[in-house]
Structure 1
């Protein structure tokens, strides 16, 4: 709190360097030490607790109605054939003060016809008191005063202009607003459908690619181990034998006991030259 406080070292007076805001800080404490000039020096200290009192230092702020220029003013159109109790508009306000000072009350500061409109002092709702007649004006100006409950009350005002129109005109204006809103909703829906369709298409393409890759792997695996149509299911067996200067290797299915090998047949027979004899002759 050194930036908020200053103490006089001679007399111990403590002064505030800045103003305190109850909505920001409600209490704080600090320590003060006092020492004499004796030898040895003796000292003592004390803890000081500071409590901030609430003051009505914030005025109400109008949240709605607010126009494009930022001023608290709005124009409302209502059909002439509305009944008593019809909600015309609502004034919304906010006060930064806490507690009792932040309570708000609404009242008419200016109204063109007290018999037509009523204002709820706690909610800020504006409603009709009766139905409109042919003799009533088509334009009404309402100035709403918003006050807080501080000892020195602070306030703000909002202006509501009410145009009373024939039902057809009111319906036309309502249709225009509805069409604009529908167009915005349709645009959002259109982009959402495109996004979902793109995601679904990518997902389907990924599934198809995975299926094709899996099928191709299965085909390659089967082709590697495809059996000979004439294969009878027995394991292959090779038999070697010699005839003269040539050595023969017979490759075929495993032969059962009692099978006969025909040396003169060349089927499934691989002729292997006798390298050992050739080498011995060359030497």
Structure 2
């Protein structure tokens, strides 16, 4: 009988039984993805095998109830957006001397789950749109990205509309968006003078199940164009659209006298609304000058006897747009003698004085009402004070010789009786009529033994 002793001359053999080579990123930790079977033809210690995995993978090997059987399970949460697949290397090493080992590598794909919402690169978005845009033309484009793939990353776009009564004033109702590419079209032409800015929201939604969405705010700023002609406010504009005015000045004014000021308005803003004034036609260039910035018309020199009585001026107002727009006004300046000018000024001052007199009249009425109310309050207060005082004049008769000073008393005795005279202090020269007891008070004598009166 010859017994052959085993020598460690066989490497371990690895067999991988994969349930699936694609693993969903939504799989929970502990999920089994493969079964690993390891065999070694050697016996004894030479046939004992230890398995290990490559580092930095979210998987681990768990021994089975059978020898040399392992389960490959998920160790932590997977994220396809970070790592879409893994190359897993399994190393099997026996315990022989010297040890022999075998490795096997296989790939695991991570499938996508709709766990990411569409994202815009910026929120809010700003759109600068020049007014008078062509209706129906594309004015803007939005784009969102989704980290998912396939249907989970297929995005559609929609404009969020207002509901109810606000829908009529919602500027988003005049916009339309291509659901596939995010191109926005304006259905109307915008006017800077009516709407300068507005905002609306766009919803981006993917095609996952369930779908995820996000929105972005688009702020629209309408830019001005030079599309408004200056309007001359003074002189008064006539019905046919031209401006015409008449001014009268006295002949004796000096140089630099303010004749009038041309007032104009432009609905545009910035340089498009910056107005400049100029004289295009004038009967005498030496008499009048126009300030190009303020529109003030002043005399350049005093009038002479040879100067005409009427002067016609044509004033042009231009804006500073790229394509300048303008308006014109015709003014007639009449030179009159000082008395006539004063009469004309009196008429104007009369109109102004009438307005001032009306204000004065209402002011007088108000002050009079307040004064009457104050006097009435004083009268009522005096009457109330008088009603509280007691009238003593009916109880006592005033002595004709009373001079308004304080009362005093005089005591004297006649026989067994004691008398006290009570009355006002007499003035100098007054006398007491003998035998008159009008002011005498008889006081009974209470003295019995002492003869003392108190």
Question: Partner of 2:89 in structure 1?
Answer: none
The question of whether the paired residues in 2 share the 8 Å contact of 1:32 and 1:47 is answered with no
CA contact (8 A) 1:26 1:53 kept: no
Task: Report deviation, 1:43.
Answer: 5.6
In structure 1, distance between residues paired with 2:216 and 2:359: 66
CA shift, 1:122, in A, is 0.2
Higher helix fraction (1 or 2): 1
* Residue aligning to 2:339: 168
How many residue pairs get aligned? The number is 230
Check conservation: 1:147, 1:156, Cα contact below 8 A.
yes
Q: Structure 1 residues 43 and 184 mapped into 2: Cα distance closer, same or farther (>3 Å)? A: closer
Unpaired stretches in structure 2, ≥5 consecutive residues: 1-170, 397-445, 448-454
Match of 1:127 in 2: 298
Change (3 A) 1:41 1:27: closer
- Indicate which of 247, 265, 272 corresponds to 1:94: 265
Answering whether residue 191 of structure 2 is matched by residue 28 of structure 1, we say: no
Return the alpha-carbon distance in structure 2 between the equivalents of residues 55 and 136 of structure 1. 45
Measured at CA, do residues 2 and 178 of structure 1 come closer, stay the same or move farther in structure 2, by a change above 3 Å? closer
Change (3 A) 1:205 1:98: same
Return the alpha-carbon distance in structure 2 between the equivalents of residues 98 and 143 of structure 1. 26
| Secondary structure class of the residue paired with 1:149 | coil
Q: How does 1:66-105 map to 2 (within 5 A)?
A: 66=236, 72-105=243-276
Taking the aligned partners of 1:68 and 1:214, their CA distance within structure 2 comes to 72
Contact in 2 for aligned 1:62/1:94 (Cα 8 Å): yes
CA distance in 1, matches of 2:186, 2:383: 81
Query: Who is 1:277 aligned against?
Result: none
Q: What is the aligned partner in structure 1 of residue 177 from structure 2? A: 7
**1:138 corresponds to:** 309
CA contact 2:203–2:213 (8 Å) conserved in 1 = no
RMSD, aligned CA: 3.4
Aligned equivalents of 2:183 and 2:224: distance in 1? 24
| 1:168 to partner: Cα distance | 2.1
Which residue of 358, 369, 387 maps to 1:198?
A: 369
Residue from 232, 236, 242 that aligns with 1:62? 232
- Residues 25, 173 of structure 1: CA spacing in aligned structure 2 closer, same or farther, 3 A cutoff? closer
Tell me which protein shows more strand as a share of its residues. Answer: 2
Q: Which has the larger radius of gyration?
A: 2
Q: Given the two structures, how large is their TM-score scaled by the length of structure 2?
A: 0.44
Output the CA distance in 2 between the equivalents of 1:177 and 1:126: 20
Residues 183-221 of structure 1: CA deviation (Å, up to 9, x unaligned): 4433432342233123201220122023212321x13xx
| Contact kept? 2:229, 2:266, Cα under 8 Å | yes
Shift of 1:155: 2.0
Q: Name stretches of at least 5 consecutive residues in structure 1 with no aligned partner.
A: 230-257, 260-283
The answer on whether the counterparts of 2:196 and 2:221 sit within 8 Å (CA) in structure 1 is no
Change (3 A) 1:198 1:45: closer
SS at match of 1:55: coil
Distance 1:35 1:196 in 2: 77
Render the CA deviation track for 1:161-190: whole Å, top value 9, x for unaligned: 111111221122223333443344334323
Q: What do residues 214-236 of structure 1 show as CA deviations (whole Å, max 9, x unaligned)?
A: 321x13xx47x99x87xxxxxxx
State whether structure 2 residue 330 is matched by structure 1 residue 159: yes
CA change 1:175–1:25 in 2 (3 A) is closer
Q: Which one of 270, 284, 292 corresponds to residue 113 of structure 1?
A: 284
